[in-house]
């Protein structure tokens, strides 16, 4: 099977233009092999919203999507090009990597969004990151946009792009030139169309990551949906992950942009798998306004708060699915921090604990070594009185008011081992004082497989 998939990719690269068109059409028409991946569990937190366990970016009104294998991956025949389209001009908000070596598509999106408050399309490719590719890489991004612009008959500035894959590799422009005109006619608004897009953006992901939920604003049903990818090279400040969020609420452009930023801080910026911040991190949110609700013009209004809370919950569900699917992971780690001076400090401590290689390795091994958790809280950069520190693993208190407690180590070890055995969630509570600040971060354990996956990533 692996040899056949490798041969398929090589065959596409060497095929004549007419053969490439035929291969893309065949992949679009059949494609069973191209979408073989299961879905992540539903990890949206509970709240005053209705979860849609099968929903995705096609769930809100006014959105279509598609995805297919287009010969962009170096091996295999998994779908590798996705398009999400809004029927109307949509309010757009986005957050991007802080890595100085940001990729060409990130630079392109920043340029477009600096001059335009709306957008209609997000196109995402797997197979190559188009990062560290210089001016030529930026030109490739511009050309892919033009290809899609021509195929759809819309202005280029209505299109945003994302890329994921190996850093330093130029885009396979021949494949884009062949595939884009063939892919556009397959756009559809069904849940299956959204699923195809979600599969197409994955790389080392073992599961596809989609989510959707519904709320009511002024008597009108509003839906928020989305998809994301990410498994390794994950660390806060938008880190390797890509996401597309769709929403049908009527919301002011500036208000939506602010909501997307704050929701990302409380979700995608609170996950870590390996401490590496990617060159390509990007989450883009589109709001069509087709739900029929009264325009949300104030984030502090009742409707504004409801919309932002739901958006944050959706993004947290997607972010947690990335950490759950961390490369080689056997569990999701959720760290709740309380007692900090403010929420920002609490979030910082949580990320530090989730990012500790020693703590992650101990969890994988079923070792309740709480000292590693305490140490990670201590080097987080947040000042607190160590005599206030408390650590709890599940329901088991390990440390209180800065003092170690006698606890049943076999029981604590069993909690870790049993949770990892079912790929569940290890809950850690860290108390750093008596302040009002709270925050949550998510990560995963560190297994032998993480090293194996990344030692062989390009080979």
Whole-angstrom distance, CA of residue 331 vs CA of residue 334: 10
Contacting residues for 355 by C-beta, under 8 A, at least 6 apart: 235, 272, 275, 376, 443
Distance between CA atoms of residues 68 and 128, nearest Å: 16
* Cα–Cα dist 236/268, whole Å: 7
- Name the residue among 422, 405, 433 with its Cα closest to residue 341: 433
DSSP string, 22-83: HHHHHHHHS-TGGG--EEPP--PPPSSSEE-TT--TTSSTTEEEEEE--S-SSSS----EEE
Q: 72 near 172, Cβ under 8 Å?
A: yes
Measured distance CA(360)–CA(219) in Å, rounded: 46
Count of all residues that appear for the chain in the document: 459
How many Å separate Cα 8 from the centre of its chain?
Answer: 29
Q: Residues with catalytic annotation?
A: 240
Q: What are phi and psi of 445, to 5 degrees?
A: -75, 170
CA distance 208 to 195: 8
**Do 160 and 119 meet the contact criterion of CB atoms below 8 Å apart?**
yes
């Amino acid at each position: 099977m692996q040899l056949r998939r490798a041969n398929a990719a090589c065959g596409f690269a060497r095929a004549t233009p007419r053969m490439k068109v035929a291969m893309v059409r065949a992949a679009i028409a059949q494609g069973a092999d191209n979408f073989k991946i299961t879905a992540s569990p539903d990890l949206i937190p509970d709240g005053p919203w209705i979860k849609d366990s099968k929903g995705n970016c096609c769930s809100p009104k006014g959105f279509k999507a598609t995805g297919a294998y287009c010969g962009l991956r170096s091996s295999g025949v998994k779908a590798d090009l996705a398009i999400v389209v809004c029927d109307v001009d949509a309010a757009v908000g986005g957050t991007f990597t802080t890595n100085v070596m940001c990729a060409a598509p990130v630079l392109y999106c920043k340029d477009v969004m600096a001059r335009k408050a709306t957008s209609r399309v997000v196109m995402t490719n797997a197979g190559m990151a188009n990062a560290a590719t210089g001016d030529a890489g930026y030109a490739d991004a511009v050309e892919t946009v033009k290809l899609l612009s021509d195929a759809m008959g819309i202005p280029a500035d209505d299109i945003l792009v994302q890329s994921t894959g190996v850093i330093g590799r130029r885009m396979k422009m021949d494949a884009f030139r062949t595939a884009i005109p063939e892919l556009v006619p397959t756009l559809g608004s069904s849940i299956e169309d959204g699923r195809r897009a979600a599969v197409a953006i994955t790389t080392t992901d073992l599961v596809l990551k989609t989510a959707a939920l519904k709320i009511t604003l002024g008597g009108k049903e509003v839906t928020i949906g989305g998809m994301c990818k990410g498994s390794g090279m994950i660390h806060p400040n938008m880190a390797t992950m890509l996401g597309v969020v769709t929403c049908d609420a009527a919301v002011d452009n500036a208000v939506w942009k602010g909501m997307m930023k704050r929701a990302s801080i409380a979700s995608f910026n609170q996950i870590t798998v390996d401490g590496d911040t990617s060159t390509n991190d990007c989450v883009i949110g589109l709001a069509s306004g087709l739900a029929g609700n009264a325009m949300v013009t104030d984030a502090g209004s009742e409707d504004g708060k409801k919309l932002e809370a739901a958006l944050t919950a959706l993004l947290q569900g997607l972010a947690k699915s990335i950490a759950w699917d961390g490369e080689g992971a056997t569990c999701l780690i959720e760290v709740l921090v309380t007692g900090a001076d403010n929420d920002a400090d609490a979030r910082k401590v949580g990320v530090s604990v989730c990012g500790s290689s020693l703590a992650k390795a101990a969890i994988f091994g079923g070792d309740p070594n709480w000292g590693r958790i305490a140490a990670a809280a201590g080097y987080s950069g947040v000042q607190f009185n160590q005599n206030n520190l408390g650590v709890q693993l599940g329901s088991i208190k390990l440390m209180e008011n800065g003092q170690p407690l006698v606890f049943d180590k076999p029981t604590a070890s069993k909690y870790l081992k049993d949770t990892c055995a079912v790929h569940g969630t290890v809950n850690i509570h860290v108390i750093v004082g008596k302040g009002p600040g709270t925050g949550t971060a998510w990560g995963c354990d560190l297994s032998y497989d993480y090293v194996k996956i990344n030692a062989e990533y390009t080979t």
